[in-house]
Copies of this chain bind each other. A is one copy, B any other.
Amino acid sequence: MAKRVSLWNAGCPVARALDVIGDWWSLLIIRDAFDGVRRFSEFQTGLGIAKGMLATRLRDLTERGILETAPASDGTAYREYVLTEKGRGLFLVIVALRQWGEAHLYEPTDRRSRLVDREVGAPVAQLVLRSADDRRLGWYDTRVLKPDVT
């Protein structure tokens, strides 16, 4: 049996998150959804994903409460896929991936999309992790506490 392993029962939120959105296409679909893509065919042509894959991904993401379907906003009888509150919560995951990609995967001259402040049009600031009392924290300043062994 080579069924894909499930991480759902891990006591680690990272593992559980990856169990839900950790596959090849999910985050790309969600990224496009943030960019305003809503229709099946838009996702399909934009991502170049096989229709079958897209259909199952959209169904899974919907079942997991990350997308929801809505009647088409243009008045036609078709459906649209829109991010739920839970799905919109993934915004910072996408931003973190984007900033890492920008910093480590592109040459300065490479063309790439940029995330800008809608109001001013300027690139957004780098994400920063802070402590509860607002000190700047690097990875070496933190520690993962295992779940309480109640």
| Interface of A: prevailing SS | mixed
Report the interface size class on chain A. 35 or more
CA distance in complex: A131, B122 (Å): 8
Q: How many copies does the complex hold?
A: 2
**CB pair B18 A27 closer than 8 Å:** yes
By a CB distance below 8 angstroms, the chain B residues around A98 are 12-14, 17
Sorted nearest first, the 8 A-B pairs with minimum C-beta distance are A13-B101, A17-B101, A111-B147, A91-B139, A93-B96, A96-B96, A117-B131, A17-B97
- A residues bordering B, Cβ < 8 Å? 4-5, 7, 11-18, 20, 22-24, 27-28, 31, 34-35, 48-49, 86, 88-106, 111-120, 122-125, 127-135, 137-148, 150
